[in-house]
Amino acid sequence: MIRTLRALFLARLFREKLLLVAFAVLGVVMWFSGFSTRIGTFWREQRATTVSLAEQKQWLANRTAIDAAAQKAAARLDAAQTLDATRLYAEVDKLARAAGVTPGLGEQRDVTGDQFSVHSLQVTLNKVDWEALKKFYLNLQARSPYISIEQFTLNAPPSGSPLSAVLRVCSVEVAK
């Protein structure tokens, strides 16, 4: 087979030989380009997996310390003052109205664990002045550590216009 191909190649004119060699080189370059892309993808995924496994190994190695810290934190909380999802909703609404703002209470998420549950609530404040927003923030801060601000986005339109804010507040409920 190789001898037949060699004889066929040598029987061609010089320009045909150059064209065949150019096609062969082009094919090798295209193959190498695809191969290098696959190798790059493999190495990136391998590196990400290695980092993820190392992080998981560290969490597992520190499990006793994390559990002890969680127990200690839960012991400092007064279980009667912790808020479930419904009480968080009512408390945030009460604090906002006390500050003189009308909140738009939206998406609510709950994450339940063995020792405690974390409830979060999205609060939207539209067309609010700075003093009312500041008062609402201080009202929330006064309820710490039972209510905390997880995320705060402030949209400030041109000077003199009312502000808009989106907050994600969360509370911790100790399992009884």
Q: What CATH number does the domain containing 136 carry?
A: 3.30.70.60
* Residue ranges in 62-159 assigned as alpha helix (H): 63-76, 85-99, 130-142
The total number of structural domains that make up the chain: 2
| pTM score | 0.58
Same domain, 51 and 115: no
pLDDT of residue 102: 83
Could you tell me if 135 and 100 are in contact, meaning their C-beta atoms sit under 8 angstroms apart? Answer: yes
pLDDT of residue 22: 92
Between residues 95 and 158, the one the model is more confident about: 95
Q: What is the pLDDT of residues 106-126, one digit of tens each?
A: 888 888 877 778 888 898 888
pLDDT of residue 12: 86
CA-based nearest residue to 169, from 100, 112, 89: 89
Per the domain annotation, does 107 fall within a domain?
Answer: yes
Same domain, 120 and 85: yes
Q: What is the DSSP letter of 162?
A: P
Confidence of residue 176 (pLDDT cuts 50, 70, 90): low
* Residue % of the chain over a pLDDT of 70: 98
Q: 112: helix, coil or strand?
A: strand
Per the domain annotation, does 157 fall within a domain?
Answer: yes
Same domain, 123 and 170: yes
Q: Which residues contact 12 (CB under 8 A, 6 or more apart)?
A: 20
Q: Averaged over 64-73, what is the pLDDT?
A: 84
Per the domain annotation, does 111 fall within a domain?
Answer: yes
Same domain, 16 and 87: no
Same domain, 104 and 170: yes
Confidence of residue 28 (pLDDT cuts 50, 70, 90): very high
Same domain, 34 and 98: no
Pairwise CA distance, residues 172 & 147, whole Å: 7
